[in-house]
Chain A
Amino acid sequence: MHPDLESLFYKAEENYLQAVEMKLFKHHINSLAQRLQTYEVLRDQEIDIFQPVADRLVEAFAQESTPLLEQALKQWIAILRYAAMAMLLNNPEFLQRRLLEWLTDLVEVQQRQSIEAKLAQLLQDRLREVLTEEQRNLIAPFIDQAQHTLLGATALYA
């Protein structure tokens, strides 16, 4: 359940929603439509989004082995998928529990932070090319969340 809507549903048990709450409800409904649209773009263009990212990654880390780069790439493809669902649900906890908690130790052990950081940056750049500003604002907090969790606060960039 969408947490923002859920709180309004509980409120409606007590009385009819008031003007301010109705405004909030409409805002969430409109936002949900935008989230859905953004989700569809990310889903339908998954390969188009990531192929240039992969090409630029290979260029940047020409000396690294292909399986290593593939593994990191797959990880960020998963991050975008789970982030897209978290955006749809407007629920950062979904991303945290279903994926990031699982990946955090793995990233630390694999010691490929520089590749991960580059990938995150390339993905953010690519999303700027593919999404409208409005759409990017919806998904960006979740990508930032992933970067922050996996790479630490210092990896965040504007």
Chain B
Amino acid sequence: MIAVADLLQGNRLPGNYFAPDAYLQGDFESGLLENRRGARLVALPETLLQAIYAGLEKETGQASRIVLFNCGRWWGKNFYRRFVEEVSAYYDRPLAEMAMAEFLQCMKQCWKTHGWGVFELDVSHYQNGFLVVELSHSAFAAAAPKENSSPACDVEAGLLSAFFSQLTGRELHCVQTACESLGSDRNYFILGLRERVEPAAAWLEEGHDHATILDRLCSSTPAGRN
């Protein structure tokens, strides 16, 4: 026998925390964008993103990708803290107690509502020690310089590495292996321990595609050794 009255103790039935109409609040008078907890949001116009790419390239040259990756790391550290705080408070339980499907759904909705594109996590290579993130409609890829010959989503790569490092409690590196700015249908990122995932960058430079790189990484790291 299930007592419905007991099920409804507390009376809260949370839904989609990141529903765009509930999550994003704008104030015309002050010109401020805030989320539903009152934290300030910043809008990044395409022109600004293009200027960041161009300015960094001019100022730092080849180091611009590292700079962007490190910016992403900072962003990821703060993003993780805010994400955990907000999601745990709304669903009234720690992130660690959430089902994987619920966590993933939060990430997808969060990504979409912030206008960062569509997020998918592939955990089928977890046994080999790798996580694969697929992002599409990335604003960073769209604003990347057209003459780019390497993946352009270094900010997102840094963000993902910091986010999943804190989530898993292990220091993870992230390599982008396909990019919308280079004609791919989506952006692929491989996450894993630095020494295991780093060869991906060299294989990418040799011109191998995402599937080949992932295969090579997995065959060099037998399942269970993560």
The residues of A with any CB-CB pair to B shorter than 8 Å are 46-47, 50-51, 54-55, 57-58, 66, 69-70, 73-74, 77-78, 81-82, 94, 97-99, 101-102, 105-106, 109-110
Contact = CB atoms under 8 A, between A and B. Distances in A.
B202 interface: no
Contacts, number: 65
Contacts of B39: none
24 contacts: A46-B4, A50-B4, A51-B4, A51-B5, A54-B2, A55-B2, A57-B2, A70-B2, A73-B4, A73-B7, A77-B7, A77-B13, A78-B13, A97-B20, A98-B15, A101-B16, A101-B19, A101-B109, A102-B16, A102-B105, A105-B104, A105-B105, A106-B101, A110-B101
B12 to A, nearest CB: 10
B86 to A, nearest CB: 15
A98 B19 contact: yes
Of all A-B residue pairs in the complex, the 6 with the closest CB atoms, nearest first, are A102-B16, A78-B13, A109-B101, A99-B15, A54-B2, A50-B4
B1 A105 contact: no
Contacts of B101: 105-106, 109-110
Contacts of B105: 102, 105-106
Interface string B1-35: 11111011000010110011110000000000000
A69 B102 contact: no
Contacts of A94: 21
Given A58-B2, A105-B105, A47 B15 contact: no
B20 A55 contact: no
A69 B2 contact: yes
A97 B1 CA distance: 33
Contacts of B7: 70, 73-74, 77
A106 B102 contact: yes
Contacts of A78: 13, 15
Contacts of A109: 101
A55 B16 contact: no
B184 to A, nearest CB: 24
A98 B22 contact: yes
B13 A74 contact: yes
Please indicate which of the listed interface residues A51, A58, A101 has the most CB atoms of chain B within 10 Å of its own CB: A101
Interface in B80-122: 99, 101-102, 104-105, 108-109
Nearest to A108: B101
B100 to A, nearest CB: 8
B2 A77 contact: no
A77 B19 contact: no
Contacts of A99: 15-16
